[in-house]
Amino acid sequence: MQYLDIHTHILPGVDDGAKDMETAITLLEMLKEQGVTEVIVTPHFYPDTDSAEEFAEFTGKAYNDLKNEIAHKDLPRIFLGCELRYFSGMGKSHAIKQFVISGTNYLLLELPYGAPVTKTVLQDIIDISERQGLVPILAHIERYAKVSGFKKLLKLISDGYAISHINAGAVVTKETARLCENLIKKGYVSYMASDTHSPEHRPPQIKQALDVITDRLGRSAANRLIIKSNRLLEEIEGADE
* Reported confidence tier of residue 239, pLDDT bands at 50, 70, 90: confident
Q: How far from 42 is each of 23, 45, 103, 234, CA to CA, in Å?
A: 16, 9, 13, 18
The mean predicted confidence, pLDDT, of the chain is 97
Which pLDDT value is given to residue 241?
58
Which pLDDT value is given to residue 1?
79
CA R_g for the chain: 17
The CB density around residue 151, as the number of other CB atoms within 10 Å, is 10
Q: Domain count for the chain, please give it.
A: 1
- 211 contacts 37 by C-beta, under 8 angstroms: no
In this structure, the strands spanning 83-85 and 77-80 are: unpaired
Predicted TM-score (pTM) of the model is 0.97
Indicate if the pLDDT at residue 240 is higher than 90: no
Residue 235: burial class (beta carbons within 10 Å; 0-12, 13-18, 19+) = middle
Which pLDDT value is given to residue 52?
95
Query: pLDDT by residue (tens digit) across 95-123?
Result: 999 999 999 999 999 999 999 999 999 99
Return the CATH number at 20. 3.20.20.140
149, amino acid identity: G
* Reported confidence tier of residue 191, pLDDT bands at 50, 70, 90: very high
The domain in which residue 65 lies consists of 4-240
Which range has the worst mean pLDDT, 99-103, 115-119, 162-166, 199-203?
A: 199-203
Indicate if the pLDDT at residue 141 is higher than 90: yes
Query: pLDDT by residue (tens digit) across 48-76?
Result: 999 999 999 999 999 999 999 999 999 99
Which pLDDT value is given to residue 201?
85
Q: Which of 80, 79, 81, 149 is nearest to 111 (CA)?
A: 149
Which pLDDT value is given to residue 73?
96
